[in-house]
Amino acid sequence: MRAAAASGDSRPPHVLVVDDSAVVRQALTSILSSAGMEVEVAPDPIFAMAKIRRRRPDALVLDIEMPKMDGITFLRFVMAEEEPIPALICSSVAGQGTSAALQALELGAVGIVTKPSLGVKGFLLDSAEQLVEAVRGAANARVRQRMAVEPRHDMSEVIPPYAASPVATTTSKVIAVGASTGGTEALREFLERIPPGAPGIAVVQHMPEVFTGAFARRLDELCQIEVKEAEPGDRVCAGRALIARGNNHLAVRRSGAHYLVDLVEGPPVSRHRPSVDVLFRSVAQAAGPNAVGVILTGMGDDGAQGLLEMRQAGAHTIAQDQATCVVFGMPKEAIALGAACEVLPLPDIAQAVLERAHE
């Protein structure tokens, strides 16, 4: 697999922006060039294909609704290549944009950047810092070839049902999970392996708020457990995973024998809202040794300090290993801090979590 631009290579990332809007192309070129990236543009996938043949970019910033060929069809071609190019979706939140963007994530896109139907240039300029971080994450991502969307695991591949004890069937155990770039697929694989009766799960995935509800509903269709977007006062209970709502921190608190969640509007923490650090810290305080913390693929360091606090509070903590991460950023930082009790490949994490939670 081709190495990412920033691994062992000091040259600036080469980014190809594919969007039929001249305003968007101009705004993204200005933002990314100012951040030291080399930017090319194409008004549709046909022009993009010609440019890719001449020079392969490190990342694509891809619109979905375009003439000649839509972004989803183009993404299928890109992901079917032997060495697919990491793609970041720049999608409108209007109409079918939400479902199409989630489809793009399932096809292998590494993330989503939203854009409104009106005032797009000003919106993108205001979001410049997040855009630059997202594109850098894409340029450093490691993506694998896909001929089609992967099917869900067969029942034979799913771990056996959780052996519930009287303690485990209460909400005395909590599993906290944090992810960013590449996390949508990592979370799908992890949650599909969680059987009914397992302890309640609280999840932070860096994602715009317009997508988290649809993302949760999609996971709910695929998984044996209930998956829903968190609402204030929801219980973290057996057989349920709560996904943080975009633009709101997710915090867990104890209420008698139960754990409940709060949605907090406070400022971004570790440059994110929701922040994995906020979730992990709240779980450390509310559950201590009755928790298991998991940090998955993602760019940056969000979650590293919080995972350390969970470990210091007696929780068992797990970081995803480099070989199975799309971006080995957040787990790497957590490992460097000594926050991880274990470092495991993604396919092994669900089993380990269940074993530790059962203890």
Is residue 145, in this structure, part of any structural domain at all? Answer: no
Kindly tell me if the per-residue pLDDT of 267 is higher than 60.
yes
Contact in structure between 325 and 331 (CB atoms under 8 Å): yes
Q: Which residue is catalytic, options 91, 206, 234, 282?
A: 206
- Residue 251 C-alpha from the chain's centroid: 18
Q: How far apart are CA 225 and CA 195, in angstroms?
A: 6
Is residue 65, in this structure, part of any structural domain at all? Answer: yes
| Same domain, yes or no: 132 and 178 | no
Q: Which two tokens stand for residue 101?
A: 């963007």
- The reply to whether 206 belongs to the active site is yes
Q: Which tens digits make up the pLDDT trace of 223-244?
A: 999 999 999 999 999 999 999 9
Q: Which residue is catalytic, options 92, 180, 270, 275?
A: 180
> Cα dist. 349→118, 175, 211 in Å?
43, 12, 25
| Same domain, yes or no: 335 and 194 | yes
Out of 139, 174, 203, pick the residue that ends a domain.
Answer: 139
Kindly tell me if the per-residue pLDDT of 128 is higher than 50.
yes
> Cα dist. 2→74, 81, 138, 161, 196 in Å?
20, 12, 14, 39, 39
The answer to whether the Cα torsion of 130, 49, 94, 251 is positive or negative is negative
| Same domain, yes or no: 219 and 80 | no
Is residue 152, in this structure, part of any structural domain at all? Answer: no
| Same domain, yes or no: 284 and 182 | yes
pTM above 0.85, yes or no: no
Q: Which two tokens stand for residue 228?
A: 């829903």
Is residue 144, in this structure, part of any structural domain at all? Answer: no
How does residue 346 score in pLDDT terms, banded at 50, 70 and 90? very high
Q: How far apart are CA 113 and CA 123, in angstroms?
A: 11
Lowest-confidence region among 47-51, 203-207, 316-320? 47-51
Average pLDDT, the chain: 86
pLDDT of the residue at 112: 87
Q: How far apart are CA 210 and CA 94, in angstroms?
A: 10
Q: Which residue is catalytic, options 19, 277, 302, 321?
A: 302
| Same domain, yes or no: 299 and 340 | yes
Q: Which two tokens stand for residue 17?
A: 């922006």
Is residue 279, in this structure, part of any structural domain at all? Answer: yes
Q: What is the CATH number of the domain that holds 170?
A: 3.40.50.180
Kindly tell me if the per-residue pLDDT of 288 is higher than 80.
yes
Structural domain boundaries enclosing 26: 14-139
Higher local confidence (pLDDT), 71 or 156: 71
Kindly tell me if the per-residue pLDDT of 6 is higher than 60.
no
HEC string of the chain equals CCCCCCCCCCCCCEEEEECCCHHHHHHHHHHHHHCCCEEEEECCHHHHHHHHHHCCCCEEEECCCCCCCCHHHHHHHHHHCCCCCCEEEEEECCCCHHHHHHHHHHHCCCEEEEECCCCHHHHHHHCHHHHHHHHHHHHCCCCCCCCCCCCCCCHHHCCCCCCCCCCCCCCCCEEEEEECCCHHHHHHHHHHCCCCCCCEEEEEECCCHHHHHHHHHHHHHHCCCEEEECCCCCECCCCEEEECCCCCEEEEEEECCEEEEEEECCCCECCECCCHHHHHHHHHHHHHHHEEEEECCECCCCCHHHHHHHHHCCCEEEEECHHHCCCECHHHHHHHCCCCCEEECHHHHHHHHHHHHHC
Question: Within 10 A of 150 (CB to CB), how many other CB atoms are there?
Answer: 13
Count structural domains, the chain: 2
